[in-house]
Amino acid sequence: MSELRSAVYIAPPAPFQAPGKGKGGLWSPISCTLIYSATEAVLVDTPITIKQTQELLSWIERIAPKRTLSYIYITHGHGDHFFGLPVLLQRFPDAKPVATAATLRHMEEQIEETSYQAQWEALFPGQIERLFVLASPLPANGEFLLQGRWLFRAVEVGHTDTYDSSILWVPDLRLAVCGDVVYGQVHQMLREANTAEKRAEWICAVEKVEALDPLYVVPGHCQEGEIHGRWHLENTKQYIRDFEKVLQAGPKSQREVVTAMSKLYPDRFNIGAVILSAMGAAQAAKQARM
């Protein structure tokens, strides 16, 4: 095999605890994309837990055996997309984690002890490898090469479900690996996109991906079995527009927002994301009135 190819692993939903609230839930499935030649590979994003990452490693060994993992690209700073790094590096110690400089700053914030304990350790106690590994920043042009031949380019797109998001563009495959810029059949997390301005910026971010004219589009969260096509771009934008319409239709309680979005998207996974999105919008609206 002399050319590049790619494959996508979907880390299944991981159970999490809800401290002080009794019942927990399931985290959205996470996509991890492997782009590989006959001898080397690039991985995009990791799962959260040790168990998930060990299962990802087994998949890599099956789908692309005997490859050298040269790079691990992290699309954005949310911990559920990079906490698997130390487990991966135990198996592939020469792999180089890379990200944009902005993503690196976000990663540093996620592992700050107080923030980490309050968020991630509370949700997944004892399940995350604590020997944290961060990425090295890419040069300003966001580019790196595999085997000195194939170009990979980080494209910064701005605020999506969090700030300073990016995608990885692989021109030879017309492949856009999008992290949380794009979602599949999973409810989108708009807790941080909690104002009309931030939601509009998210739509603009998706349009930046569209401008690349990709053939394949991999969402950061999607269900097992989904084909990774261009329609995820428009579907992601429409979900944001519909959330905006629900909010603009008149005063609504958080419960009413959740009900409305659930009716519009009954087949999407993880209603918990809608609940958090409604909470974020309500908190932003309250602050705007103060």
Residue 2: pLDDT band with limits 50, 70, 90: low
Nearest to 77 by CA among 45, 39, 54: 45
- pLDDT beyond 80 at 251: no
Q: CB of 137 within 8 A of CB of 99?
A: yes
Average model confidence (pLDDT) for the chain? 96
| Phi, psi angles (nearest 5°) of residue 82 | -145, -5
Give 193-246 pLDDT, tens digit per residue: 999 999 999 999 999 999 999 999 999 999 999 999 999 999 999 999 999 999
Residue by residue, DSSP assigns 83-135 as TTHHHHHHH-TT-EEEE-HHHHHHHHHHTSHHHHIIIIIHHSTTTS-SS---P
Domain-by-domain residue ranges, the chain? 5-289
Give 263-278 pLDDT, tens digit per residue: 999 999 999 999 999 9
CATH topology of domain 5-289: Metallo-beta-lactamase; Chain A (3.60.15)
Going by C-beta distance under 8 Å and a sequence separation of 6 or more, which residues neighbour residue 150? Answer: 4, 37, 170, 172
- pLDDT beyond 90 at 190: yes
Q: Which helix (H) or strand (E) holds 8?
A: strand 5-11
* pTM for the whole structure: 0.97
Name the residue type at position 110: Q
- pLDDT beyond 70 at 257: yes
Kindly state the percentage of the chain with pLDDT values over 70: 98
Give me the pLDDT at residue 21, please.
Answer: 61
Give 85-126 pLDDT, tens digit per residue: 999 999 999 999 999 999 999 999 999 999 999 999 999 999
| Phi, psi angles (nearest 5°) of residue 238 | -65, -35
Give me the pLDDT at residue 24, please.
Answer: 87
Residue 1: pLDDT band with limits 50, 70, 90: very low
In whole angstroms, how far apart are CA 27 and each of 9, 269, 271? 16, 10, 10
- pLDDT beyond 60 at 57: yes
Residue 229 token pair = 């096509």
Mean pLDDT of 169-179: 98
